[in-house]
Amino acid sequence: MQVYRGLAVITDQPSREMLAAVPHHMIAVAPLSEEYSAGRFAHEAQEALKQVSARGCLPIVAGGTGLYNRALLGGMALAGEPSPAAREKWERFILEHGESAAAARLEQIDPDAAAVIDVRNPRRLVRALAAAESSGPSMAAERDRLWTASSSPYRVISFGLELPRDQLYARIDARVDEMLAGGAIEEVRRALEGGVSRTASQAIGFAEIGQYLPGGISIDEARAAIRQKSRRYAKRQLTWMRKMPDIVRIDLAEEAFPAALDRIIDTLEQAGFIP
């Protein structure tokens, strides 16, 4: 979601100071009105990796979106997007029958996809149904190929940072409080006044603040919903990370951040990534 302009607070984009200190890529590169996908990200981020390497620098891919990272680094192309007509059909189905009925239908026609996608996410549910109906590769097959791909256009070392659940959730709660106090409400208000794509509207906090603005829910209800959605997302991040082969996992509860950073640098030096 950090690819979008206009959602700096909600997506916790790097500060101006951070952007000035170190060259960043793929931050605020798309307007809110545009749809975005893992395939598009992989294509555009590959160009960024080439630019970094051409400067004689080591690219660092940082972020928590497992599918996007694997689309970029796994060396496998994602299936094409389903047709707009297929999407519209299943969007209408969800409106008329609800997400539970749509999830049940996906279980019937593509049980492998139903087992791996977040069926509570309408966007992913629509895409999986449309892909299954068009007889294209299933969502499950796409992800399996990404995880089992033994070849990649890059030489990669992956690091996964972990915290005990209570500490992780405390940080999430604090982050949501900072977001709401730091301009997220006005940010969503401005975004809603313009055109917002289906993809951009999936940013955590967008729908909840969108419900709060006209008085549909209280700010405390919005806060609780954003915290809960963030926790669920963090759990999915950990699931993706733990499936990654050869990942170097770092428990930040056991290692202070400076020690963890030293360990990362030592690992990169031993592997010949940095002199």
DSSP per-residue codes, 101-149:
HHHHHHHHH-HHHHHHS-TT-HHHHHHHHHHHHTT---HHHHHHHHHH-
The pLDDT value given to residue 148: 46
Q: Using the predicted structure, report yes or no on whether residue 246 has a pLDDT greater than 80.
A: no
Find out whether 163 and 241 touch, Cβ atoms under 8 Å: no
Summarize pLDDT for 96-106 with one digit per residue, the tens.
999 999 989 88
Q: In angstroms, what CA-CA distances link 249 with 70, 106, 158, 218, 246?
A: 17, 34, 8, 39, 9
The pLDDT value given to residue 72: 86
The pLDDT value given to residue 132: 79
Q: What is the mean pLDDT of the chain?
A: 86
- Angle between helix axes 84-97 and 99-109 (nearest 10 degrees) is 130
The pLDDT value given to residue 60: 93
**Is 253 domain-assigned?**
yes
**Is 10 domain-assigned?**
no
Average pLDDT over residues 37-43: 85
Domain end, chosen from 127, 148, 169, is at 148
Highest mean pLDDT range out of 43-47, 108-112, 118-122, 242-246? Answer: 43-47
CA dist., res. 142 & res. 136, Å (int): 10
The two structure tokens encoding residue 109: 């026609």
**Is 191 domain-assigned?**
yes
**Is 9 domain-assigned?**
no
Same domain, 175 and 192: yes
- How sure is the predictor about 142, in pLDDT bands with cuts at 50, 70 and 90? low
The pLDDT value given to residue 141: 57
For the entire predicted model, the pTM comes to 0.76
The pLDDT value given to residue 111: 76
With CA atoms as reference, report the closest residue to 133 among 154, 171, 102, 156: 102
Same domain, 37 and 124: no
With CA atoms as reference, report the closest residue to 115 among 78, 76, 143: 143
Q: Using the predicted structure, report yes or no on whether residue 120 has a pLDDT greater than 90.
A: no
CA dist., res. 59 & res. 102, Å (int): 41
Q: In angstroms, what CA-CA distances link 38 with 14, 35, 130, 192, 232?
A: 21, 11, 17, 24, 20
Q: Among positive and negative, which fits the CA dihedral 162, 168, 171, 172? A: positive
Q: In angstroms, what CA-CA distances link 211 with 84, 86, 185, 224?
A: 27, 28, 11, 13
CA dist., res. 92 & res. 94, Å (int): 5
The pLDDT value given to residue 149: 43
Q: What is the CATH number of the domain that holds 193?
A: 3.40.50.300
Same domain, 265 and 177: yes
Summarize pLDDT for 72-82 with one digit per residue, the tens.
887 554 545 56
Q: Using the predicted structure, report yes or no on whether residue 265 has a pLDDT greater than 80.
A: yes
Average pLDDT over residues 42-52: 92
Same domain, 230 and 264: yes
The pLDDT value given to residue 81: 58
Same domain, 122 and 168: no
- From the number of C-beta atoms within 10 Å of its C-beta (0-12, 13-18, 19+), residue 149 rates as middle
Average pLDDT over residues 39-47: 89
Same domain, 93 and 55: no
Same domain, 191 and 255: yes
Domain count, the chain: 2
Summarize pLDDT for 217-243 with one digit per residue, the tens.
999 999 999 999 999 999 988 888 877
Find out whether 112 and 140 touch, Cβ atoms under 8 Å: yes
**Is 72 domain-assigned?**
yes
Same domain, 93 and 24: no
Find out whether 157 and 273 touch, Cβ atoms under 8 Å: yes
Same domain, 35 and 154: yes
Strand, coil or helix: 222: helix
Least-confidence region, from 112-116, 192-196, 247-251:
112-116
**Is 5 domain-assigned?**
no
**Is 132 domain-assigned?**
yes
CA dist., res. 257 & res. 262, Å (int): 9
Q: Which residue has the higher pLDDT, 249 or 209?
A: 209
The pLDDT value given to residue 215: 95
Same domain, 69 and 89: no
Same domain, 236 and 247: yes
Domain end, chosen from 103, 129, 148, is at 148
Q: Using the predicted structure, report yes or no on whether residue 202 has a pLDDT greater than 80.
A: yes
Domain end, chosen from 101, 124, 148, is at 148
Cβ atoms within 10 Å, residue 102: 22
Through-space distance between the first and last CA atoms of the chain, rounded to whole angstroms: 34
Least-confidence region, from 2-11, 162-171, 234-243:
234-243
Question: Residue 113 is part of which domain span?
Answer: 84-148
Q: What is the CATH number of the domain that holds 108?
A: 1.10.20.140
The pLDDT value given to residue 274: 85
Same domain, 239 and 161: yes
Cβ-proximal residues to 65 (8 Å cutoff; 6+ apart), any chain: 237
The pLDDT value given to residue 21: 95
**Is 67 domain-assigned?**
yes
Least-confidence region, from 19-23, 35-39, 214-218:
35-39
